[in-house]
Each structure stands twice: as structure tokens, then as C-alpha cells.
Chains A and B, each alone.
Chain A
């Protein structure tokens, strides 16, 4: 390999390096590292040998194959990550290198693709949530919810936040992490009426962690009665049929956008949605894109000046860390732009009617599956009011044992939530059926449950 480029990703050959070194008046590239402390330079580092591309692919194909679930195994796990039918144009368009290999759009003249897409994203999020303003996205739904708590603490000057159970334990955990930084107390409430004037906000999940639909208006009234903000962490897909939380009184709506953007990918990359009422615009975390026009119009073919054209820019940047530093609304820099693009294209591919149809299909399939389970002797679906796509299953044997026996039959039987305090969760599995769950997987589940129930 002597004389060639050191690697396919690194173009300079020995001859190139010789030209550069001569120009620099150096004999060895090592001279450029002379400032590094000699005692610590070039340490022993143990890394595996480099792999060529075919070797690399083989190695990682083998690793991938060690995972049991490639999407073909019946699984009824949801609990914050839901299988969706992602339109095929989504991965196709998102992989265009102009989108994928760009940086944050600091130069708007050659970043209109990213910027205009982000404006589309903001518009879609505002329509779904029923709120006035959206940023271009945060890391994930949980950290977006934590950022909403920080916003609420800033605008109310209060030093505690409240979350309404049942809330996803991952969301609660992330809120606690951020609250530790900001020195905020975190209270977990069993009912909305327990919110007090010490709480900056009341956070509610829609649907809640156990799948039930929440009457946001009632929660918002309780929060506002205490002078607190109402923060709703909503599933954006469910919002295809559910009332927009902003219309029901929510002040900030967050959510997780990963499911419609691509596969679950073991949880990430994800996408945090964040929308708010316009009075909180200057307290928003993250990047925001605005619409504007050219300072001067272009020249036409006859040399005359044409009207200025419409374009998009990062705006309201004085909120952000690179300008306001320690007084910024957040430290956010890199977020999830490409996932936001995928989310936008997926929703726009569905369109108004398609999203409503897909959400209702999800609702119908899930309820049909629940009805069939309820009809099995020994099984029940503890009723907790209206729900969307997730339901509790209680069988004739302990939840952990039921889960084990389903696993033995090659079925992922949802999430065991029997350790929860809610009485309806006693000895239950939280199961999820979506519009993307293959009907034959549901058939397999029903058959397995009948089998297990008969043996119990």
C-alpha cells in the first residue's frame, strides 16, 4: 500500500503529503503535532484490526442477524415506540445526499432545502397540535417534555413541576434528570386536581402510559386554575383523529415523532416535537425557521430587476446558546433535522384524509384484537375508558408467566406492567396493535392465548 492513499476515505497519497510537507518546510507530519505533550503522545491504544468494506458488511450482517426481531416476528410491544406503515418515499427522499450530508443551515442561500423543509415541519406540527408556534424539533419526546418543564419554570418563576400518572417511566426519568440540573422539584400526581400554585406546569400524556385517552380540557382547566401551564406529551399519529391539544387548552405540546419517520431502531434516533402558544415564543428552546424575502430581487433575462423571491432563514436566534451563552433558553445545537424531514414527508404523504384513515384503522384493528382476546375464556381487557391503540390484557395466570409462555411460542407479548400502582394494571400485559400490525400476527396471538388459557 506504500505510496497510495491510506484509506478509501482519506484521499491524500504519499506524493500529496510530500507536496504539502515541502510547502510547509517540514520533513514529517509528526512535526505538526509537536505542541502535544511528549509524555502522553502516541499512547498504546487497543482497537481491533481495520476491516475492508466486504469484511465490515459481513461482520455487521452477522451482528444484525443475532437480533431476533427483524420486524417479522409477532410482537405487541408499544409503550412509547409503535410500528407504523412508513411510506416508501420517506427513506428514499431522506437519503438524498443534499439533505443527508448537509450541516445546520448557517448559509441560507445554499440551504433552502433544509430550511423550507423545516418550515413545512413547523407548519405540520402546528396543525397537528393546534398551537401557534413550533421549533424545528428536539432530541425526543421525553427530553422535549423536560424542556417544556424548564420553559414553564422560566415563565412562572416557580420551582416545581408536576406530572400526571400514568406517565411513561422514561418520560418521568428524563424530566427528573433535567429538573436536577435546574433545581426543580418533580411531583407525580394521581389526579389533575392535586396540582397546586407551586407547580410551574402539569404534564399529561395523551394517550396515557397505559393507553387511555385523556380529556385534555379537564386537565388544562385544573392546571390553569392553579396558574400552571398545561403541557401535553401527545402521540402525533393519534392526533390524526384526536382533538388538537392546543384547542383543548394545552399551552405546550410535545411528542415523539420517530415512529412515522422510520423503524424503531432500538429507540433512536428519535424526534422531539415542541409547539407552544405564541406568547412563549421567545422562551422556546431550539432552532426556529422563519419566512422572509430576498433583500433584492434577481436579474431577469433582460437584465432588469425582478421582485424579491421568498426564502427561509433561521430566526429568533438571540434565544440560542451561540449568542446568549449562559442565559440561553437551552444548550441545544445539533438536534434531529433529518428525522424531522422524514416525519414531515410521511405526514404529507398521508395528507389530511390519509392520516385520519390510518389513525382510525389503527383504532379499529386494536379494538378488534382486544375484543377477540376478551372473548377467550379466562382473559379480560380491564376497561379504563376510551383508548387508542394500547390495552391491558389479564389472563388466567400471572402476567410474567403469561409473557414467558408467549415468548416460548415466538410471540412478543407486550410489556409486563403488573408492578404499577394503578389497580387496573394488576397482573396485566400492556399490548399494542397498530395499523401496521399484520393481521396474521394478531391471529397468532389469539391462537397462542387460547392455547395457554386452555392449559392453565
Chain B
């Protein structure tokens, strides 16, 4: 189970990566494993304003559906179009090719309130 050091995490298992004044958002390796085979991701349109802590989309696996929560506030500048055709990218590469959306951050300091890798790892159930 990979928890990448350079990212910040939510309690709901989304991650965000700071790139300049933008943030790239995805779900964690743990989350994709719990979901199982991801079959569909409903993402917001370009220009949609995400609000930290609010729902911004949905992710479906064969037998379950989960809501996606925004780690930070900001406007969507890109969505990962590759996962429309290949939702399995979320399973295969949750931190890289399986990213979901990119936003312009309204307030980059919001990221400081999120979990760092160590705190996020401590929240996950012990590996069994």
C-alpha cells in the first residue's frame, strides 16, 4: 500500500499535489484498493468551482459507489479525460496517470489543514 510522501490527504482518501498555484487531485492507493475495479468516474465540468470538504463527483466500482470530496477550494482547469475510456487507470496508477482533476487554488494555505502522509497512514486500518 503506497502512501506518497509529497502529497496531502483528506480523511475521505483524496490526495492533492501542489503545482505552483494549482492543485492536482486524485484518490489514494488505499481507496482504489478498497473500491476494487473502478468502472466509472463522474467528474465536474471545466470551470466548476470546488469547495473544500464538499462533494465534487462520484466514483463507481462494480459493486459500490463513493462520493468524491474536494481537498481544497478552487476552479477546475482540467479533468483527466483518459479515465473516461480507461477508468482502470485509477486502480493501476492512482497517484500518476489516474489523477482526476486539476484546480486553481483559491487559498493554497488550505492544504496545511490536510493530513500529511504520516498522519494519513496512521488513520488507515493496520494491514491484514
Tell me how far the C-beta of B112 lies from the nearest C-beta in chain A, rounded to whole angstroms.
Answer: 33
* B32-74 interface code vs A (CB 8 A; 1 in, 0 out): 0000000110100000000000000000111111000000000
Interface size on B, as a range, is: under 10
Q: Would B64 and A323 count as touching, CB distance under 8 A?
A: yes
* A318-336 interface code vs B (CB 8 A; 1 in, 0 out): 1000011000000000000
Nearest-CB residue, chain A, relative to B66: A318
Q: For B39, list chain A residues within 8 Å (CB).
A: 318
Flag whether A156 is at the interface (Cβ < 8 A): no
Interface residues of A in 305-324 (CB under 8 A from B): 317-318, 323-324
Q: Please, how many angstroms separate the alpha-carbon atoms of A323 and B40 in the complex?
A: 14
How many residues does chain A have at the interface if contact means C-beta atoms less than 8 Å apart? 5
Interface residues of A in 281-298 (CB under 8 A from B): 282
Interface of A is mostly: helix
Q: Please, how many angstroms separate the alpha-carbon atoms of A324 and B60 in the complex?
A: 10
Partner of A282, one of B40, B62, B63: B40
Q: For B64, list chain A residues within 8 Å (CB).
A: 318, 323
Q: Would A317 and B63 count as touching, CB distance under 8 A?
A: yes
* A357-377 interface code vs B (CB 8 A; 1 in, 0 out): 000000000000000000000
Q: Would B40 and A324 count as touching, CB distance under 8 A?
A: no
Using a CB–CB cutoff of 8 Å, the interface residues on chain B facing chain A are 39-40, 42, 60-65
Q: What are the 10 closest A-B residue pairs judged by CB atoms, nearest first?
A: A318-B60, A318-B65, A324-B65, A323-B65, A323-B64, A323-B63, A318-B40, A317-B63, A318-B64, A317-B62
Using a CB–CB cutoff of 8 Å, the interface residues on chain A facing chain B are 282, 317-318, 323-324
14 intermolecular pairs with C-beta atoms under 8 Å apart: A282-B40, A282-B42, A317-B62, A317-B63, A318-B39, A318-B40, A318-B60, A318-B61, A318-B64, A318-B65, A323-B63, A323-B64, A323-B65, A324-B65
**Given A317-B62, A323-B63, 5 other A-B residues pairs in contact with their CB atoms under 8 A:** A318-B39, A318-B40, A318-B60, A323-B64, A323-B65
